[in-house]
Amino acid sequence: MSTSLHPCLRRMFSDRGGNFGLMTAIMMPVLLGVAGMAIQVGDMLLAKQQLQEAADSAALATATALANGTIQTSQAEAFAQNFVAGQIANYLQSGTDIKNTTSVGVQTTTSGKSTSYQVTVSPSYDLTVNPLMQAVGFKTQHLSTSSTTVGGHSETQGSISMFLALDKSGSMGDPTTTVTTEPYTYDCNPHPNKKGKTVYDTCTGTRTRFYTKIEALKLAAGKLFGQLDSADPNAEYVRTGAVSYDIVEYPASSLAWGTAAVTSYVNALQSGGGTNSSGAVNTAYTSLTAKNAAGNDAEDAAHRQKTGQVPKKYIVFMTDGDNNNDSSGGRSYDTATKKTCDDAKSKGIEIYTIAFMAPAGGQALLHYCASDDSHYFQAEKMEDLLAAFQAIGAKASAQLTRLTN
């Protein structure tokens, strides 16, 4: 029996036919992991490239926005985070919150009238690996990068002169659709005094009401003036003036450095009367093109004396209605206003116009007077008016700064 068993055992131990299957079973997880890693490395390299490009773009865009006054330093972090998220949105896995994992740093350096912005944007996120990598124990791969730009070097370069022609007609006293809350006093707690007569205490409360158009105008103009003040805090490069009108033109706030005088003028406006824009728009135009005693352009001379620069000139023209009260229903006033707008544009003056809840005739006039479509704003509610004046302020402020790096 032992003789017959020995050859069988020898054949069994010498038979290697099953080794390949055994080795394959042992090595399969390793092979799958290697394959998964090869695929994942390619995905990671692509994701890292996309992340780097988003960081580079966000850093440059943020520095540029800071330089041209589109944003303030307090807004830089949110601006850069939103920019990164927008750039890489199509490449992120579902549920990835890139905004909260993007850090932003801003360093501001000022030398004289020049300010430089160094912006560093550092986004990161965890990339979920593919199932083959997960099969060998990996779950996520952390990706991070950083980009720093020393671009966004802004230097005061431009000067501006701006004149506002503002409608204060009776319809400007009409309510908007925007609600505000205000305090008020009222009689309360009736009680007899020592003589038996009923007297009242004075109580205070709050109530809601709608903003009027003239109130909305004052708030909107304040947005514009605030942006100019931010770009020119020392009132060295900005001159502003304003004139108001209803059926007649009212005394103007003459062009002066900064915005203090024009702010007081606008805040004192009261609504009332018909509508005739022709005189006010002409005053805005002639104020910007007046000659001095030497026969030279007075605004150019004022800026040259202070900054050595020639100013960019703007008219901001706002109405909420049609011209009226002439024999042709306001059309002669329209014709005169258009003539002035043509003259102003021929002199290189940029005209921004805002039709505030205006009817078709007012819209048509302002569309005609605007320098182009981008200079015309149709504001159908108070929020639109605020946005229009703010946009004009941003565009005018950009004239005061220039991106040099």
Q: What residues contact 302, with CB distance under 8 A and at least 6 apart?
A: 239, 255
DSSP 174-199: SEEEEEEEEEEEEEEEEEE-TTS-EE
Q: What residues contact 186, with CB distance under 8 A and at least 6 apart?
A: 202, 203, 204, 205
What is the per-residue pLDDT for 41? 65
The residue with greater pLDDT, 19 or 161, is 161
Q: How far apart are CA 265 and CA 25, in angstroms?
A: 88
Determine contact, residues 266/162, Cβ cutoff 8 Å.
no
Percent of the chain scoring above 90 in pLDDT? 58
What is the per-residue pLDDT for 338? 98
Q: What distance lies between CA 122 and its chain's CA centroid?
A: 23
Closest CA to 229 of 314, 162, 298: 162
Determine contact, residues 257/235, Cβ cutoff 8 Å.
yes
Summarised one tens digit per residue, pLDDT across range 37-63 is 655 566 777 888 888 988 888 888 888
Beta bridge partners of 208: 181
Q: Which fold has domain 160-179+212-403?
A: Rossmann fold (3.40.50)
Percent of the chain scoring above 70 in pLDDT? 83
What is the per-residue pLDDT for 150? 66
Determine contact, residues 282/131, Cβ cutoff 8 Å.
no
What is the per-residue pLDDT for 31? 54
The residue with greater pLDDT, 309 or 370, is 370
Task: Give, for 155, the enclosing helix (H) or strand (E).
Answer: strand 153-156
Q: How far apart are CA 307 and CA 101, in angstroms?
A: 45
Summarised one tens digit per residue, pLDDT across range 301-353 is 999 998 888 999 999 999 999 999 888 888 999 999 999 999 999 999 999 99
Q: How far apart are CA 320 and CA 223, in angstroms?
A: 19
Confidence of residue 404 (pLDDT cuts 50, 70, 90): very low
What is the per-residue pLDDT for 125? 87
Above 70 in pLDDT, residue 16? no
Above 70 in pLDDT, residue 36? no
Q: How far apart are CA 212 and CA 246, in angstroms?
A: 16
Q: What's the whole-number average pLDDT of the chain?
A: 86
Among 30-39, 51-60, 69-78, 347-356, the least confident range: 30-39
Confidence of residue 15 (pLDDT cuts 50, 70, 90): low
Q: What residues contact 387, with CB distance under 8 A and at least 6 apart?
A: 379
What is the per-residue pLDDT for 403? 36
Q: What distance lies between CA 90 and its chain's CA centroid?
A: 24
Closest CA to 242 of 303, 166, 176: 166
| Model pTM score | 0.62
- Tell me the two tokens of residue 142: 């952390």
Q: Where are the alpha helices (DSSP H) in 322-377?
A: 331-346, 360-369
Confidence of residue 92 (pLDDT cuts 50, 70, 90): confident
Q: Encode burial over 277-291: b for 16+ CB neighbours within 10 A, e otherwise.
A: bbbbbbbbbebbbee
Mean of the pLDDT values across residues 201-207? 94
Mean of the pLDDT values across residues 269-276? 97
DSSP label at residue 325:
S
Mean of the pLDDT values across residues 371-396? 94
What is the per-residue pLDDT for 24? 56
C-beta neighbour count of 167 within 10 angstroms: 29
Q: Where are the alpha helices (DSSP H) in 155-259?
A: 213-231
Mean of the pLDDT values across residues 192-219? 94
- Tell me the two tokens of residue 349: 């003056």
Q: How far apart are CA 397 and CA 405, in angstroms?
A: 18
Mean of the pLDDT values across residues 87-114? 81
Q: How far apart are CA 104 and CA 96, in angstroms?
A: 18
Task: Give, for 23, the enclosing helix (H) or strand (E).
Answer: helix 19-67
What are the distances in angstroms from CA 115 to CA 9, 67, 233, 303, 401?
Answer: 90, 8, 14, 22, 10
Closest CA to 120 of 68, 62, 180, 203: 62
Determine contact, residues 305/202, Cβ cutoff 8 Å.
no
Determine contact, residues 375/338, Cβ cutoff 8 Å.
no
Determine contact, residues 162/350, Cβ cutoff 8 Å.
no
Domain ranges of the chain: 26-155, 160-179+212-403
What is the per-residue pLDDT for 405? 35
- Tell me the two tokens of residue 150: 């020393």
Summarised one tens digit per residue, pLDDT across range 233-264 is 889 999 999 999 999 999 999 999 999 999 99
